């Protein structure tokens, strides 16, 4: 952890306004000042990513095609471990060219021949294989304005039996489904406003929509501390979801 790196990130997240006319411009503008420090800070902020990968990799991945939507710097590639050699293709799809540059350097320095970056929109990108076996969204759905289009598109791209894995911030509905966690009014109102400054939109609807479209395989609701947040006891909700497209 570097103090100056954290200060640069906090400046970009909490003070510097995000500029840009289109969503793609805003994404690149937001991340261009923090690409170099991104991984270190997000390791402490974006929890549950490694566990999501561990759960997904419990099923065989030989000769599969995997898309990491909003994959940023490609840091999730490290969670594949040796399994990466057995996968035929991984796409890291993102709109922010500055983060994909870091991903590109990671891919070439690791010598991965089966990994490709695509500067593209997760709601429309189609790989040359046409359909895929697994799609992941780690902390990207909350930054995609048309998140429902991203989920619908993932559903179209997945083969029958293919899996979607999502880890992200969220808030519960006022009246969540039976068995799901209910958050206080304070949590729902505060975190929604707090994250909106960075164009991150924790939603009460991602979890119900994912459960509606896919057969749930794994679902956990958790809380995490936000680094440098003044009150360490007021924690942010996040969830892990794995679902299967019905056969
Ligand atoms: C919080 S970052 C998470 C990055 C990475 N998945 C991780 O876990 O470190 C959200 C990412 O979603 C990307 N993103 C936002 N909207 C997108 C879209 N419509 N299509 C593709 N990527 C998008 C952003 O550029 C950013 O890299």
Sequence-distant (≥ 6) Cβ neighbours of residue 146 within 8 angstroms: 123
Does 24 reside within a domain? no
Helix (H, G, I), strand (E, B) or coil at 36: coil
Total domain count for the chain? 1
Does 33 reside within a domain? no
CA distance 205 to 50: 24
Q: What is the DSSP letter of 177?
A: P
CA distance 56 to 68: 13
**Tens digits of per-residue pLDDT, 156-168?**
999 999 999 999 9
User: Model-level pTM?
Assistant: 0.90
Mean pLDDT within 213-240 = 90
Look at the block and give the residue holding tokens 């937001």: 30
Ligand 1 atom with minimal separation from the 49 CA? 8
Does 35 reside within a domain? no
* pLDDT at residue 228 in the model: 73
Does 8 reside within a domain? no
Ligand 1 environment, Cβ below 6 A: 27, 31, 42, 46, 49, 70-72, 75-76, 93-96, 99, 121-123, 138-140, 143-144
* pLDDT at residue 64 in the model: 97
Handedness of CA 139, 164, 210, 217 (dihedral sign): negative
Does 59 reside within a domain? yes
Look at the block and give the residue holding tokens 């997240």: 13
Mutate to test the pocket of ligand 1, among 12, 28, 47, 140 (most ligand atoms within 8 A of CB): 140
Mutate to test the pocket of ligand 1, among 13, 20, 27 (most ligand atoms within 8 A of CB): 27
Q: pLDDT-derived band of residue 2, with 50, 70 and 90 as boundaries?
A: low
Torsion of CA 17, 21, 24, 25, to 10 degrees: -60
Tell me how crowded residue 80 is: count the other CB atoms within 10 A of its CB: 20
| Domain, as residue range, for 122 | 44-244
CA distance 219 to 199: 25
Rounded to 5 degrees, what are φ and ψ at 19?
A: -110, 160
* Percentage of residues in the chain having pLDDT higher than 90: 74
Sequence-distant (≥ 6) Cβ neighbours of residue 24 within 8 angstroms: 95, 121
Give the closest residue (by CA) to ligand 1 atom 24. 70
Question: Contact, 40 vs 221, CB < 8 A?
Answer: no
Give the closest residue (by CA) to ligand 1 atom 13. 70
- CA of 178 relative to ligand 1 center, distance in Å: 31
Does 3 reside within a domain? no
Which tops the pLDDT comparison, 50 or 227? 50
What CATH number is attached to the domain comprising 165?
3.40.50.150
Query: In three state form, how does the secondary structure of 191-207 look?
Result: HHHHHHCCCCCCCCCHH
> How is residue 1 written in tokens?
């952890």
Does 1 reside within a domain? no
**Tens digits of per-residue pLDDT, 205-223?**
999 999 999 999 999 999 9
Does 6 reside within a domain? no
- CA of 22 relative to ligand 1 center, distance in Å: 15
Helix (H, G, I), strand (E, B) or coil at 148: helix
**Residue 161: alpha-carbon gap to chain centroid:** 21
């Amino acid at each position: 952890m570097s103090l100056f790196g954290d200060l640069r990130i906090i400046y970009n997240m909490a003070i510097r306004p995000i500029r840009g006319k289109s969503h793609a411009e805003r994404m690149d503008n937001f991340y261009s000042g923090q690409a170099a420090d991104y991984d270190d800070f997000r390791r402490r902020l974006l929890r549950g990513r490694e566990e999501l990968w561990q759960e997904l990799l419990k099923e065989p991945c030989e000769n599969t095609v995997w898309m990491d939507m909003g994959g940023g710097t490609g840091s999730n590639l490290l969670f594949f471990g040796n399994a990466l050699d057995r996968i035929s293709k991984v796409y890291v799809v993102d709109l922010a060219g500055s983060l994909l540059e870091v991903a590109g350097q990671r891919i070439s320095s690791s010598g991965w021949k089966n990994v490709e970056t695509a500067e593209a929109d997760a709601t429309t990108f189609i790989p040359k294989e046409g359909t895929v076996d697994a799609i992941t969204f780690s902390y990207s759905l909350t930054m995609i304005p048309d998140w429902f289009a991203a989920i619908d598109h993932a559903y179209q791209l997945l083969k029958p039996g293919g899996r979607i894995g999502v880890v992200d911030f969220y808030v519960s509905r006022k009246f969540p489904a039976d068995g799901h966690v209910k958050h206080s009014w304070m949590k729902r109102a505060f975190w929604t406003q707090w994250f909106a400054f960075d164009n991150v939109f924790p939603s009460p609807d991602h979890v119900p929509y994912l459960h509606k479209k896919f057969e749930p395989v794994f679902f956990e609701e958790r809380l995490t501390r936000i680094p440098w947040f003044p009150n360490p006891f007021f924690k942010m909700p996040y969830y892990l979801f794995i679902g299967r497209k019905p056969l």
